[in-house]
Structure 1
Amino acid sequence: MYVFGYGSLVSPASAGRTLLRDVEALPAARLAGHRRDWRIGAPIVFEDGTRATGGFLDVQPHPGSAVLGALLAVSPAELRMLEGREAQYDTVEVTDSITAEIELSGPVFAFMGRAEHRAYPDMVLPTRYLELVTGAVATRGEAFADEFWATTAPADLPTHDGAYRFADPAQERAARP
């Protein structure tokens, strides 16, 4: 089975940190009929003590659109680990909407933000999260990066610098065991 990564899970280092293993190649894939935006809010605490609702990437159904991302092969136990990290999201099977540069050997799931976590009015974009996503996308090459950003809605959120952690201790342990 696979997880379709469209944000921080495009980063092998970020995925590997949660899964407690080395993650190497993440084959490119497209999720048809969806769009990507910065509209999921999660309670976070910055290293300076600031408490905020962090704005994170999400994908939602949107006919005629497609989102470029990467596939992460996971076991059922690893999927549960990622679900702990992605606490504001539902796990949705998207196999029939995926085209990939590899032949799929199992179902594909994507994390889609729950309605109650979308579009908080006071969200801030953690600069470290933006840097993580930007760095991961850049390592995939110029064509990947160009398409990734072209298929991502603008953040339109104020940024906040510095390291952060999830306010929910269980989610933080899942994200950074």
Structure 2
Amino acid sequence: MSGVWVFGYGSLVSPESFGHTLGRAFHRGVDFHPAVLRGYGRRWNYGVMSLVGRADEHDGSTREWTIVALGIAAADDEMTNGVIGWVGDDELPSLDARERNYDRVDVTDLTDVARPVEGRIVTYVPQRAPIEHYEAARDRGEAAVERRYWDLVDGAFAELGDGEQERYRRTTPPPDIPIVAMRRDSVPLRHRLREP
């Protein structure tokens, strides 16, 4: 079967989250392995353009948030821990849809894997538009990390293996925005690229 290894550094570190997108389970040590990506640093810099977060305020009102997720940025002196998961060619469109507004980039020569694997390794790097979306919302005081996502990623690294959670925490700069418990609502397509 042809396909690629996909390096995940955020929610894809959770085999359940990764597998949910593909409609199948991953098996640690078979098609899912710890890995490290050289030359990139993890950042809270991806402004989700297809969803908004809503949170209830103490006064009974509802506040809208731009949801911010993890991305990576080229950085010669940094390394990002994560995983690689095998994705068949027929499954790749589903993953590309999940990782919309990211570019799929070949990182085969920059990835160190816990055990030898054959084939190409790719990862998802945020495009400029979602980064600008995050920056604009941050500057307006309207950007936040979703608490559920925050907990999912942190928990996935805790389950990855000895020292992986500490390494994730140590190498990931803290977000410059709040972490908020919120619910998600879809944004109509016609509004996804609109900036106030």
TM-score (normalised: structure 1):
0.88
Quote the residue 1:153 is aligned against.
173
- Rounded Cα–Cα distance in structure 1 between residues aligned with 2:124 and 2:188: 18
Residue in structure 1 matched with residue 193 of structure 2 by the alignment: none
| Other-structure match for 2:44 | 38
Q: Distance in 1 between matches of 2:83 and 2:105?
A: 16
- From 9, 16, 19, the equivalent of 2:19 is 16
Question: Any conservation in 1 of the 2:33–2:83 contact (CA below 8 Å)?
Answer: yes
Q: Which residue of 2 aligns with 1:123?
A: 143
In structure 2, distance between residues paired with 1:132 and 1:167: 23
The reply to whether residue 61 of structure 1 matches residue 74 of structure 2 is yes
- C-alpha change, 1:168 and 1:50, in structure 2 (3 Å) is farther
Q: Distance in 1 between matches of 2:52 and 2:129?
A: 20
Code of the aligned partner of 1:99: D
CA distance in 1, matches of 2:88, 2:188: 25
1:50-97, Cα deviation, whole Å (9 max, x unpaired): 543211101111011111010011111222211100112110010010
> Conserved in 1, the CA contact under 8 Å of 2:54 and 2:64?
no
1:106 aligns with 2:119: yes
Shift in CA distance, 70/168, structure 1 to aligned 2, threshold 3 Å:
farther
Superimposed CA distance per residue, residues 101-147 of structure 1 (whole angstroms, 9 cap, x where no aligned partner) = 12121101100001121142232111111011011111123411111
How many aligned residue pairs are there?
169
What TM-score, normalized by structure 2, do the two folds share? 0.80
CA contact (8 A) 2:42 2:72 kept: yes
Q: Where do 5+ consecutive residues of structure 2 fail to align?
A: 56-61, 190-196
- The reply to whether residue 2 of structure 1 matches residue 5 of structure 2 is yes
Report the aligned-residue RMSD: 1.8
Q: Once the 2 structures are TM-superposed, how far is the Cα of residue 24 of structure 1 from its aligned partner? A: 2.3
Code of the aligned partner of 2:85: L
Unaligned runs of 5+ in 1: 170-177
Contact 1:128–1:163 under 8 Å retained in 2: no
Partner of 1:140: 160
Alpha-carbon distance in structure 2 between the residues aligned to 1:77 and 1:165: 29
Residue type at the aligned position of 1:22: A
Question: Separation in 1 of the partners of 2:117 and 2:170?
Answer: 26
